[in-house]
Structure formats: C-alpha cells, structure tokens
Chains A and B, each alone.
Chain A
Amino acid sequence: MLSGTEADIINAVARLRKATKDQIRREVGFSSDYIEFLCRYLVRKGYLNFSNKHYSIGEVGIKTLLTEETPEIDRGLIKEITAEVAGEISNELKETKMTVARIGQKVEWMPEEKTKIKTDFELPVEDESLVLESNINKIGPNLEKERSDIDESVRLFKKIQKIFKKIQRGGRT
C-alpha cells in the first residue's frame, strides 16, 4: 500500500515523464533527503526507474496508475485538520510576547537557526533474504586467518578515546 507522499511522487514523475530528485522535491515538497529516501524505496519496489540522475515511471508504477490503485486521499479532511492546528498555534502565539520587526524597519541582528535533520531514528528492516533458496550458508564464506597484531592498537585507541571523553567532560589529563 502506498502512502500519500509516495503516491504524490509517482503522480509527479508521471506528469513530468522524467524528473530529477530536485524537480520531484519542488512538486511534492519535503526535504531533499526524505524525497530521495522515498524514491529509492519506490525504485526498489519497481514503481520508478532511475538512470542518469532521472526518475521515470517503472513497470509497477504504470500498473498502479492504470489500475488506479493509488490511495485516495481525502484532501478536504486534511485541509480541515490543518486549519484546526493552525488555529491552535495562532491562539498560543497570541499569548506569547514577541518582538516583531515592522516592514521596512532595519533589523540589526536576526539569529539564523540551521535546519537539523535528525538521523537517530531506527529503520525497521525485514530480512528479505529469507525468501531466497540458496546454498551459500552450506558452502560458507571464504576464510582467511591472520596473526593478530591489534592488541596494541585496541589499547591505544581506548586510551585516546578515554582522554577525549575526559576533555569533553572538562577534566584535565
């Protein structure tokens, strides 16, 4: 089942015939990273093709468009909900004192906050290899053995990490 944004991406690519990530982003919105993430998923599932930095509609995508399997999104309901949320935010803002520059007024300094993309999320991954029939585990990997000389390196690395941790905590070494 496709999500609304995924369906929007497929529709956008179908409209543009061929589209770069940035073109899709302009059509659909969201961050470039998120669009790329979804596009990669859609390529893997056959909804889109990717070549020369351009996405085009894949076989599954064409079938989906022809059979109109694209999920129907209740745009009216979404508008209703966003209007409610906007109202609530606006009420909260009314109670907060804010310094607002008038149009034309010279502003000495405005702090610029960089947009931070959080990457500490967990992506649930299924073991897709379970559907494969293979003798790879029976044969096993190619094995090599090497005399270990890493104990000193492990010790030194631990020591350095410890020093950095102390420095971070504001201690002296």
Chain B
Amino acid sequence: MDEMSREASQLVKAGRVAFHPTAADRARLIAAVTGTATLSAGVARAAGAQRSLRRIFGVTHAARLLVIALPVAAAGAHWLHVRELSPAVVQRALPTPPPPILVAPSTAQRPLPLEPQAVEPPHEPSEPERSGSTVSESSKPGNDVHQEVALLSKAQAALSRGRPQEALEAISEHARRFPHGVLAEERAATLVRTLCALGRTQAAAEELKRVEKLNPTSAYLARARESCGL
C-alpha cells in the first residue's frame, strides 16, 4: 500500500495518541457499563473535579476560547515553520472550527409502516450540550438509547402479558421517535411477534420478508419467525 506524505503520517500519529483512552477512562467506563464495580473514591473525585471544570468552562465560554486560541495559534506557527507570519495572520489561520458536514440520512432502514404516523419534531436531549461522564448522568431521561430500551421493554412486557395492542402502540412510538434507532432491528422483530399475536399473520409475514432483505442473518428475526411459526 502506498505510503502517505509526512504531513498525513504526522496527523495520523497524533490521532493514535489523542484517541487513546486513559487508564482512568477505562476503569470508569468498565465499572459503569458492567455494574460489577463501583467507582473508586479517587476516580469519582477526579470525575467530579472534571465535571466542575467543565461547568466553569461552560460558564466562561470566552475564556475557554482564549485558552484554546493562544496555544493553538503558537502551535500553528511551529507546525508550519512559518516564522515570518505575523501573529495576526497566525491567529486568523488557526482557531476557526470546521464547518458542519451535511450527510444524507441513511437509507438502509426505513421507518416501519406503522399507524398512526403522527408527525413530531425529532427527539432532542433537553439540555443544549450533554456533559454526561458518569452512569447517573447518562442514565437520565434524554438519553436516546435508554429511551429506546424503555420503549421496547414496554412493548415486550405488554406482549408477554398478552396485550399486543399495547405492544403495538409502544412499537409505533419507537418507530416514530427513533426511525433510525440503534434498536431498530429489535423493534422489527418485536413488531413481527406482535402482529402474529394480533392474528395479522399476513402482515407479520410481509414485515418479516421486508426486514430480512435488510438483514438476512438477524438472529432476532429468526426467533420471531420461529415464535410465529412463519
């Protein structure tokens, strides 16, 4: 494979260092996601201190920009080896954030053909910028994945209690709020089982066929097929 230029290789090398988690990151998040360990007092204190700093920086946004702009400007001059540039030129060159990149939404998964299809604004977290770094913060309402889990759990619980209509409502809500959610595949499988429970076997088979085209190896759908006898 072709070698990249020195500039490109230097950027990649910087990324390998910058994108590596620290030992504290690892300890904090492994403890958080497994739930088998509690945060040590030291890590908790560090996390608390970090959040406090973030709050301070959040309040003094101008100060944050200043803190960033000055060393970055100096680094720019060094990186470019352009010592002749005036500070004003360096300043103008460096700290501008990149413009947003617009990407077409993925078409890999379409919203399920559920009823009703009420139009609602897309879900957004209530706070302007999430600063969550702990389990408690990311577990609060506003976390999309948690809300996805809650909705599908509600649907599955209703289904297991023999209330498919309730399940369908929860699935519809999930489809409306999270058309491209990370649990869309699980939603599809739950929908198939729900349609079967409602006696809508033909609709279940059609839905199964449609979703299997997108993910033919899905274990979720295989189980849904088995449970429905399709």
The judgment on whether A and B are partners is no
Name A residues whose Cβ lies closer than 8 Å to a Cβ of B.
none
